[in-house]
Structure 1
């Protein structure tokens, strides 16, 4: 580099190299790397001249690297710590569809088919078995005068499907009223069931979804539909990414953290952590916890199931800070780091810096240093 005299070590054949740190972990202060310059045949001296006169001799030696370099800018703004994780993109839930109708299976959906609430899941002896939303299984006949949580979810479903208004039928009520019966008859007539005003386990299946997606067909058209048999398996149509996170990093991720999901087609879409598991599972030689992520734009994720994706999880964010590429950090002989700033005239100056938050995904790091400001050029290794 212009302006720096060759040291005694160079005159004796011992070359110098520009030192770069290994990629540091998030928020861990970089360890000092000690540089020893050994002179052949006697003590070595380094003469620092030109723009590095105000720096130490060792700093001048570091900055005089002969390797190809390029420039990057110091930027000011928001910086987030991200960790890259492998994930699987799929659908929420795994629900067995248990039949309670006797007879012969006459119709089944295909794998991948989506079925909404109030629609026929399958048919037995030609009669539809419909999907209704609820977490309590339909284990008994529901008719005028019955009470309970299963009745309350029926009332909710009838209102949601538009067979009664909230003024006509209170969705919070757990009582099977005259209004319940009237709305149920309308539903039965609409789907092709006999309008009895009584709901039996042979006529409907309650599952905790507004719409389900068939993942597997286990029954056979023409086969016996025995009560208790699982004819289908299904998920919801809600998209979800599952990450097996190393248990040692559990505390660094929490519900509400923002993520960036890179899809198999190379495109990216944002998401948010919906839950972090509390029970570790042993996988191969490590312990992991399950992290569930909700994509913010479900349509952008397509329809692939169990597709491999990359997830950059934002675990911490700082605002209004200076940052530089991690590659621009120089390890100082006395410990710590510096960056090599180049002004408009081409003058090179080493500025000692203190590192803060690391963005592993973007390859940038938060820095503070005397005289450092946004827009300045810093030296980075050339490509």
Structure 2
């Protein structure tokens, strides 16, 4: 019995040592097991000739939406920020009055009645036409009987004094090309004449396109050039009249830039700058480039890069291919390389290669 006990006392630690030795051996075998290297074929992809730019608009300071009447704000129209105002568009209801937009170059400043003439009468005829009311069509500067019939219906629609006399408080002046920005007065609040109901963005007087990397101004582009917004929307600049480029691009930036990237406002003088970043200027025809996953790229300490090609002899180690200056970041998860490499098989993840292999790069 004593011999059996002694045997057990000896066997238990010996067994433990053997198990530990076996475990260590298996760990060594796992550590020595070669890492599986996978390969990918360099693909083909179209790369746009683009650069990141900043759009700088001059003279685009926000303007006030001055209320033409007084009372309690009953309701506000559901206006989209960045969307240009439409002539005759409903803005708000203040008391019993319905405020509509008069979009043009001339504000209403006097009472108008049959027989009056002037630019403001022409604006009135245009407003009536936009609302689908009786009016004189075209560039008519005379307040006629047809104008009077339209004004009678307009006064009824907006809650103004009945009759055929037009009062300047029957519409809110909006500068041509302006876009809605935001409301500042809440429903239920008191509104006085001239109080700002909100902000509207005035049309810019000039546009500058600036390269984000160098800070250099890029000439306003022409044919074959488009502008791509951060949200992916695209605007063909070649289809815009030169005189309308600033306004058209400004509307595009308001609709597609805000939210994706906030505008930067620089105050200074009477014409502050409003700039939008994150846009891309795409010029010329796209070119074919090789495309590889970023993990396949190995960067040396000196900044030079290479990829490792699959050896013709499966027993050999991958051979480095040094890359020139054609390497460029493409879409998410893609790196552009020289198109001459298209079709060649390279290591999918260069970090899996042995140090001595990487040193050959």
Q: TM-score range by the shorter chain?
A: 0.5 to 0.7
Q: 1:193 matched to which residue of 2?
A: 160
The one-character-per-residue Cα deviations of 1:2-58 (angstroms, maximum 9, x if unpaired) are xxxxxxxxxxxxxxxxxxxxxxxxxxxxxxxxxxxxxxxxxxxxxxxxxxxxxxxxx
Q: 2:195 matched to which residue of 1?
A: 230
8 Å Cα contact 2:90-2:101 kept in structure 1: yes
Structure 2 residue 137 is matched with structure 1 residue 170:
yes
Q: 2:149 matched to which residue of 1?
A: 182
- Structure 2: how far apart are the matches of 1:305 and 1:185? 47
Task: Compare CA radii of gyration and give the structure with the larger one.
Answer: 2
If asked which structure has higher relative contact order (CA below 8 Å, sep 6+), I would say: 1
Q: 1:151 matched to which residue of 2?
A: 121
Q: CA RMSD in A?
A: 5.1
Structure 2 residue 102 is matched with structure 1 residue 132:
yes
Structure ranking higher in helix proportion: 2
8 Å Cα contact 1:260-1:313 kept in structure 2: yes
Structure 2 residue 71 is matched with structure 1 residue 105:
yes
Structure 1 residues without counterparts, runs of 5 or longer: 1-65, 237-242, 262-267, 275-290
Post-superposition offset of 1:367: 0.9
The one-character-per-residue Cα deviations of 1:249-293 (angstroms, maximum 9, x if unpaired) are 4545966644353xxxxxx5434498xxxxxxxxxxxxxxxx957
- Structure 2: how far apart are the matches of 1:110 and 1:158? 22
Q: 1:248 matched to which residue of 2?
A: 214
8 Å Cα contact 1:342-1:379 kept in structure 2: no
The one-character-per-residue Cα deviations of 1:330-351 (angstroms, maximum 9, x if unpaired) are 5689997543222687573444
Count of equivalent residues: 273
Structure 2 residues without counterparts, runs of 5 or longer: 1-33, 202-208, 238-248, 265-275, 353-361
Cα 1:336/1:302, change in 2 over 3 Å? closer
Post-superposition offset of 1:378: 4.7
Q: 1:95 matched to which residue of 2?
A: 63
SS in structure 1 opposite 2:114?
Answer: coil
- Per the normalisation by structure 2, the TM-score is 0.54
Structure 2 residue 42 is matched with structure 1 residue 74:
yes
SS in structure 2 opposite 1:156?
Answer: helix
SS in structure 1 opposite 2:124?
Answer: helix
8 Å Cα contact 2:307-2:346 kept in structure 1: no
8 Å Cα contact 2:76-2:187 kept in structure 1: no
Q: 1:11 matched to which residue of 2?
A: none
Post-superposition offset of 1:79: 0.8
Structure 2 residue 87 is matched with structure 1 residue 121:
no
Structure 2 residue 333 is matched with structure 1 residue 365:
no
Post-superposition offset of 1:364: 1.8
- Structure 1: how far apart are the matches of 2:49 and 2:37? 26
- Structure 2: how far apart are the matches of 1:82 and 1:327? 24
